Amino acid sequence: MAKPLEGDGLIENIYYYAWQREGDDTSFRGFYLPHTVIYKHQQPRSWFYSSGDGTIVKKPKDQLTTLNIEQAFLQSVSKSGIVAYFTYIGKGGIREIEFFEAEELKHFLHYRNKSQDGILQKFIDPKGIKNSQIQMVWSPSICLFEMRENTKDLYDLRYDLYERAVTFEGEEYHSRVMPLRGFEIRNYMRNVGEVLVEHVKLVTDNQMSISRMVIHFKIDAKDRLWLLMATSVRCQSSKPLDLVSLTKLPDTVNPKKVSSNPQNPVSLQKSVLCNNCENPCEVERMCDIAYKFVIDSNSQEIPKLIARNHPKMTLFDYLKHKKNVVFLNKKTLVCDDCYLKFTEPIHYAGAWTERLDYSPSRHLNPTKLSIRREITNLTKSLTPIKSRHLSTVKEKPKRLKRRNKSKEKVNSEAILLSGNKKFPKIPFLNLKRFSEDRSTNVDSLVSSANYFQPEKRKIVDDILKAIEDNR
C-alpha cells in the first residue's frame, strides 16, 4: 500500500517519494531539500535532506536523535539568527508555523511538549536581503506562480523575528506579492513539477498519479531552488486545490502589529506573562499599576495579583500593609487589558479616593507635618539666614562651611540640629527613602512600617517639641 499523498495542510509524504529511487536514478530532482524532520507522536519519525551534490538523503532510523538534529540545525546558522521553523496543523485544522532562533530550537528539541505532529525544517537564507517564498500551483496544462517577499530586512535584528521572517504566513502588510520575473525560472520550476509527478508515478507503480498540487519553493543566494513543502495535492479527487496557503502564527505572536521604522520596532512575540491574567503579552503592552488600584478596600481577601507577587504573605500581613502608603504605591506590571479593568472605576481624576477609604494624611497631624517639612526643607530653612544678614549657602558656600566648622554662628535650624550637641539627630529623616523606594519588598516594608509605632513617634514628637521650645 502506497503512502497517501492526497490532501491539504501538510503533505509530508512528498519528501518520502522524492527520496525514493528507482533503478539507477541519481536522486536529484532539480531542487534541494533543507534538513526536514517529520515528527509523529512527539518523536522524530523521519529525516530528509539534500547532500552536497543535491541528491536527497534519508537519515537512518538510529541517527534520528535529538542531539543529531540539534547539531545539524545549528551548523552554519543564518546571520538573521533564524535557525528553523516548525509547521503543524493546529486548532481548527489550520496550518500554523513557529520560527526558532538557536535557543528556542534547543528548548523545542529538549524540553517542549510537541503536542502536534509536524515538520521541522532548517531555515535557508533567501536571495537578497528580504525573506521570500514562491508558491507554485501545478497542473499538467497550467502553472501559476506567486512570489511573496517580506517587507523588512531579514538581517536587521532590531525587528522582531516574525516581522522579518513571514511571507505567506502572517498578514498581508508584512509581505508583498512580487512578480516572478524570467521565463527561464518559471519554465524550470514547471519542469521540476513535471519530473516530480512522473517520479512519484514511477515509484508507486502508477498508484499515485498527481493531477494538481501546490508546492512552496525558495531561491537562495546561489540561485538554487529549494523545495520547502507541499500544502495541497490531488490525485483522483476532483476537490478544488487549497490555493490560499493560509498559515497562522502561534497564539504567542500578535500578527496585527507592524513597525513603521527600525528606530521604533514593535515586538510581535508575546514574550511576557501578565502577572494578573497570566496571558502572554508583548513587552510594550505591559503597564505599571500601583497596588492601591488593585486593592479593594471593602474586601478582606488578598487580591489574586498581590497573592501571586507575594506568595508568603499572610492575610494578617496583608491587612496590615493595606494601610501602608508605601505598600499602596508599590507597583507591579500587568497587561493593558488588566490595567483597564483595574482602573475602570476611575474615570475621573480623584474618583479613586472614594474607593479607597484610606487616606494617609488623615492619620498624621498636619501641623506636625508642616513643622517637619520646614525643618527638612533646606531652601526654606535658609530663608531666615538672609533676613539675619548672613550669607546663604548659594552665595558663599566656602565661607559658610568654614564658619560652620568653627561654630562661630548658628546659621539655620538645619545646621543647628547637626551642630548643636544639645539635640540628637532626627531619626525620621529616612522619610525620603520611605516614600521613594518603589521596589520595597514586604520585609523592608515591615521594618519601615515600624516608623508608625507609637513609641518611635513619641520620640520624634518630643524632639519636635524641644525644637519648638528652643526657638
Please give the residue ranges that form the binding site for Zn ion (CB under 5 A). Answer: 274, 276-277, 335, 338
Measured distance CA(33)–CA(18) in Å, rounded: 10
Q: Which is nearer to Zn ion, 244 or 340 (CB)?
A: 340
Task: Please say whether the beta carbons of 35 and 122 come within 8 A.
Answer: yes
Cβ distance 319 to 299 under 8 Å? no
Minimum CB distance to Zn ion, residue 249 (Å): 20
Distance CA 145, CA 396 (A): 82
Q: What minimum distance in Å lies between the beta carbon of 340 and Zn ion?
A: 10
In the complex, what is the shortest distance from the CB of residue 21 to Zn ion, in angstroms, rounded to a whole number?
55
Phi and psi angles of residue 379, each rounded to the nearest 5 degrees, phi first = -65, -40
- Smallest gap, in angstroms, from Cβ of residue 290 to Zn ion? 16
In whole angstroms, how close is the CB of 98 to Zn ion at the nearest point?
23
Amino acid making up residue 297: S
- Give the residue with the Cβ less far from Zn ion, 135 or 254: 254
Strand partners, 214: 137, 232
- How many other C-beta atoms are found inside a 10 Å radius of the C-beta of residue 374? 13
Shortest reach from residue 286's CB to Zn ion, in Å? 9
Cα separation, 119 vs 33, in Å, equals 13
Find the shortest distance in angstroms from Cβ 298 to Zn ion. Answer: 23
Least distance in angstroms from the C-beta of 281 to Zn ion: 7
CA 344 to chain centre: 26
- CB closer to Zn ion out of 333 and 382: 333
Nearest-approach distance from CB 304 to Zn ion, in angstroms: 11
Distance CA 327, CA 314 (A): 15
**Would you say 214 or 294 has its CB closer to Zn ion?**
294
The Cβ-side half-sphere exposure at 295, using a 13 Å CA radius, reads 25
Find the helix or strand (DSSP H, E) in which 289 lies. Answer: strand 286-290
Residue pointed to by grid coordinates 508583498? 176
Chain-centre distance of CA 359, in angstroms?
A: 38
C-alpha to C-alpha distance for 11 and 211, rounded to whole angstroms: 15
Q: How far is the CB of 283 from Zn ion (least distance, A)?
A: 14
Distance CA 383, CA 403 (A): 18
For residue 336 the three cell numbers come to 493593558
Backbone angles phi, psi at 175, to 5 degrees: -150, 170
DSSP letters spanning 425-446: PPGGGGHHHHHH-TT--HHHHH
Q: How far is CA 366 from CA 33, 36, 322, 377, in A?
A: 78, 74, 22, 16
Point out which residues pair with 37 in neighbouring strands: 47, 120
| H-helix segments, 32-132 | 66-73, 102-110
Query: In the complex, what is the shortest distance from the CB of residue 158 to Zn ion, in angstroms, rounded to a whole number?
Result: 27
Kindly tell me which of 250 and 280 has the beta carbon lying closer to Zn ion.
280
All cell numbers assigned to 299: 474586601
Q: Least distance in Å: CB of 273 to Zn ion?
A: 9
- One-letter amino acid of 198: E
Which residues fall within 8 angstroms of residue 376, CB to CB, at 6 or more apart? 414, 429, 431
Dihedral angle, C-alpha 359, 360, 365, 368, nearest 10 °: -140
